[in-house]
């Protein structure tokens, strides 16, 4: 059996009412997959505090995406827990706009 899930999807747990089949989650992963490599690295930095894959590989990371009610807010990452607060945006364009705004304005930990 060949999985159609991306690696990110395979290592993600969902909370607050989200599930892998939720339309917002499906759209979220679609947006992430469409990002150019540089923005994918910025997303990783936004979520984990580092733009590098851990030495033990991507499967050593556990990502948690939880629903928050206020869809006027940007997505918020809690880097110590690899936790993403993701509002239920109404459409792909809004989700992409808010996610890009959040990840383009992150600093990370600046570790070398």
Catalytic residues: 80
From residue 54, alpha-carbon distances to 19, 65, 111 in Å are: 26, 19, 13
What are the tokens at 36? 């150019």
For strands 83-86 and 76-78, give the pairing: antiparallel
């Amino acid at each position: 059996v060949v999985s159609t899930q991306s690696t990110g999807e395979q290592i993600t747990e969902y909370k607050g009412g989200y599930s892998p089949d939720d339309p917002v989650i499906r759209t979220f992963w679609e947006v992430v997959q469409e990002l150019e490599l540089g923005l994918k690295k910025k997303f990783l930095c936004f979520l984990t505090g580092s733009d590098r894959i851990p030495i033990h590989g991507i499967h050593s990371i556990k990502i948690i995406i939880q629903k928050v009610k206020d869809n006027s807010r940007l997505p918020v990452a809690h880097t110590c827990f690899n936790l993403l607060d993701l509002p239920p945006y109404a459409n792909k364009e809004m989700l992409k706009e808010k996610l890009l705004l959040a990840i383009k304005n992150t600093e990370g930990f600046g570790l070398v």
